[in-house]
Structure 1
Amino acid sequence: MFQSTIKLARGGSVSRLFSTSQAVQSHIGSAPVFLSPEVQIEINDLLIPKIIPKGSQSIKLNKLVTIKGPKGIMDLPIADFIGLEKDESKINVSIKNDKNRIQKQLWGTTRSLINNSVVGVTDGHSSTLRFQGTGYRAMLDEVDGVKWVRMKIGKCNLQCLPIPEGITVSAPTPTLLIFEGCNKQQINLFAARLRNMHPPEPYKGKGIYFNGETIKLKSKKVK
């Protein structure tokens, strides 16, 4: 919304708005989350609420949304100003004060987190890591009941990390890893930790690529 100031003949002024329409609400937050018949949602109070400082204000997480589906169970704590209205086929997310900046920011975020959880427990989420470079490869191993991802990425020793619970990792080829699970944030975080061990370098393009990541190669400096 734009605003201009018009000077009057007697030295006064008045502000005029170019647009008289109301502020646009969150398109993401106001969109309903559609549920499949096999998804069950429960909303309960947290026994011990969590207080998160946010600048001069704070956010109180006092409700827990439990989403159950064929792929697993997801627990999502939400703020006290978030309202949820559910029926058999969808759930609507709302906030108490649409003029509060923090509430407006978390409106769409909460709706997206709920939608990701619903998709996760029904269809699941997946991410990939692609290895590019001579001799670069990955392998899966299990030691004492703990599954590991081991990578050869241009170093003398193998780089490795244990696979967290709730994530399934497969290696259809030595240069490709596929991560699957119902928690999208957990999958991407684990994949990012592996990628950070050798991100793509800009001259030869060697490294670990996340999903469909591409880079622009630089030309070598000629002295």
Structure 2
Amino acid sequence: MFSRSYKLTGLGPLLSRSFTTTRSSFSNIGKSAIPISESVQCFTEEIPYEFCKTFRKGKSIYSLNRNIVVKGPKGSLKMAVPSFVSISQDNNYINVKVEDPEDRIQRSMWGTSRATIQNHVIGTTEGHIAIVKFVGTGFRAVIEDGEDGKKYVALRVGFPYIPKVPVPDGITVSCPNPTRLLVEGLDKQQVKLFAARIREFKKPEPYKGKGIYVDDEKITLKEKKIK
């Protein structure tokens, strides 16, 4: 039996405390410093008002009026943030701060901004990679040159036609063997998004395990239904 304490009011007894005593915990990702090498630069720049994007949370509207720029040996990346997000550099570390850590919206943007900046630091120094694997008889991919000068990934995955996916700018795709694709780029989000687009054409099925897998993806096989 749980121990309960009641409070008498004009409407009758009400439960004054919840059954659980566990306190809500918050993520501390935003407080962690981001280590950088000497070849990486990180700074902010203002975005002109007419080019600012906005987003709404409840009744409040926030403007993304500041860019956080990360420059490294492989290139540079930008991230638009609201004015309450700021950065400071101390030796070889970057600290991300917000004006009011107790505010729910600012706290959520704090951790998100810090994680994205860290991904940009890794991307501009080492790059991000996604491995796309083709499992199934005859399943394979071929990189082709289009008439428009762009690269295309032709997928042979059991369809009566051959889907061709254009490779977006900033992404490099290589094919070490017919059943593997290496997707590389600076922006982690764009790299994983392109790999996910390829996976959409033939998701792994749970009976034979055939399909397109991304990175270390695994599925649990089911037994065939026997009538």
TM class by shorter chain equals: 0.7 to 0.9
CA distance, structure 2, for counterparts of residue 216 and residue 185 of structure 1: 27
Q: CA deviation at 1:60?
A: 1.8
Partner of 1:133: 136
For the residue of structure 2 that corresponds to 1:199, the secondary structure is coil
- 2:75 counterpart residue number: 72
**SS of the counterpart of 2:67?**
strand
Which range is displaced more, 88-97 or 171-180? 88-97
| Aligned match of 2:219 | 215
1:187 and 2:191 aligned:
yes
- Structure 1 contact 35–88 (Cα < 8 Å) conserved: no
The residue aligned with 1:105 is 108
Gaps of 5+ in 1: 8-14
- Give structure 1 regions of 4+ aligned residues with deviation exceeding 2 angstroms: 4-7, 23-26, 55-59
Task: State the distance in 2 between where 1:30 and 1:53 align.
Answer: 25
* AA of the residue aligned to 1:186: Q
Within a 5 Å distance, the mapping from 1:62-211 to structure 2 comes to: 62-144=65-147, 145-211=149-215
Alpha-carbon distance, 1:26 to partner:
3.5
Amino acid at match of 1:163: V
Return 5+ residue gaps in structure 2 as ranges. 8-15
How far residue 165 of structure 1 moved from its aligned partner, in angstroms, is 0.8
Q: Compute the RMSD of aligned alpha carbons.
A: 2.3
**Aligned equivalents of 1:151, 1:57: Cα separation in 2:** 45
CA contact (8 A) 1:26 1:107 kept: no
The 5 A counterparts of 1:14-33 are 26-33=27-34
**Structure 1 residues 24, 203: closer, same or farther in 2, change over 3 A?**
closer
**CA offsets, 1:114-160, max 9 Å, x none?**
00000000011000110000000001111231101011001111111
Contact in 2 for aligned 1:67/1:118 (Cα 8 Å): yes
Displacement of 1:57 after TM fit?
Answer: 2.3
How high is the TM-score relative to the length of structure 1? 0.88
CA deviations 1:176-216 (Å, max 9, x no partner) are 10111110000111110110011001111110001110111
Task: Check if 1:53 corresponds to 2:56.
Answer: yes
User: Match of 1:12?
Assistant: none
Length-normalised TM-score, structure 2? 0.86
Q: Distance in 1 between matches of 2:101 and 2:118?
A: 21
**Separation (CA, whole Å) in 1 of partners of 2:79 and 2:58:** 23
Structure 2 partner of 1:42: 43
Counterpart CA distance in 2 for 1:55 and 1:72 is 37
Deviation at 1:88, TM superposition (A): 3.7
Q: Which residue of 2 aligns with 1:10?
A: none
SS of 2:195's partner is: helix
Q: What secondary structure sits across from 1:216 in the alignment?
A: coil
Structure-1 separation of matches of 2:215 and 2:61: 36
The structure with the greater share of residues assigned to strand is: 1
Report deviation, 1:42. Answer: 2.5
SS in 2 for 1:98: coil
Q: Please report how far the alpha carbon of residue 58 of structure 1 lies from its aligned counterpart in structure 2 after TM superposition.
A: 2.4
CA shift, 1:56, in A, is 2.5
Q: Which segment drifts farther, 118-127 or 98-107?
A: 98-107
> Percent identical across equivalent pairs?
41
